[in-house]
Amino acid sequence: MQRGYWIRSKPLYDSLVWQTPAVAHLVIAGGEGGIAVLKLFQQMYPKDPIQVLYTDLATANKNYSDILQQIVPEELELCDSEESLLNNLEQRLKDCTMGTHFYVAGSEAFMWHVLQKTRAAGVQDVDVQKELCGTLARPVYCVHCKTITRDVHHNVFPCSNCGRHLFVRDHFSRRLGAYMGVMVDAEEPGNIPQIEEVYP
């Protein structure tokens, strides 16, 4: 990012804080997002019903299922994959009513998958608390072959589907839940800038 320059589509993330008043709370986290859940439960927590959905992720450096099981006093459901967590979430959303607050933590790719589900249930992205945890790795959408590559750490990378070398932009699509990736050597094939790890 350049100083004094900001792309409006680049999402901002915060630290999870209980939102009150509310009728219920639903916390959804994956992989390193577990730390944000632990931090939430170190705050004074509200007396409304709380549900926590969590899954360990193979891509995470640290997972939290074991600790959460000991710490989370309320209804905790541990799922065995992101997919099963998303299915479980979809079911629970059907029973949620207005006044339920939503909290999500994990990598950017994980959070935006969750947000696709909450949005489909009529919850606006701005009304979901989001905390980015663990990695800055970006989900990147190849504007040429329309494939999303997850967990991109470098400024330039080969698309997982078409192999084009893509430059990762800051332009973020909320609908796709991914940053735009644009072919870097379209003008001059083979002229690829130095590849650096910028999203550790």
Residues that bind other proteins (CB under 8 A): 19-23, 93, 96-101, 119, 121-124, 126-127
Smallest gap from Cβ 131 to other proteins, in A, equals 18
> Which CB, 121 or 195, lies closer to other proteins?
121
Smallest gap from Cβ 134 to other proteins, in A, equals 27
Q: How far apart are CA 95 and CA 51, in angstroms?
A: 12
Burial 129-152 (b: 16+ CB within 10 A, else e): bbbbbbbebbbbbbbeeeebbbeb
Smallest gap from Cβ 82 to other proteins, in A, equals 22
Smallest gap from Cβ 99 to other proteins, in A, equals 4
> Which CB, 101 or 154, lies closer to other proteins?
101
> Which CB, 118 or 149, lies closer to other proteins?
118
Q: How far apart are CA 126 and CA 171, in angstroms?
A: 18
| Opening angle at CA 182, ends 177 and 185, nearest 5 | 160
Residue pair 33/85 in contact (Cβ under 8 Å)? The answer is no
> Which CB, 101 or 164, lies closer to other proteins?
101
Q: How far apart are CA 138 and CA 150, in angstroms?
A: 7
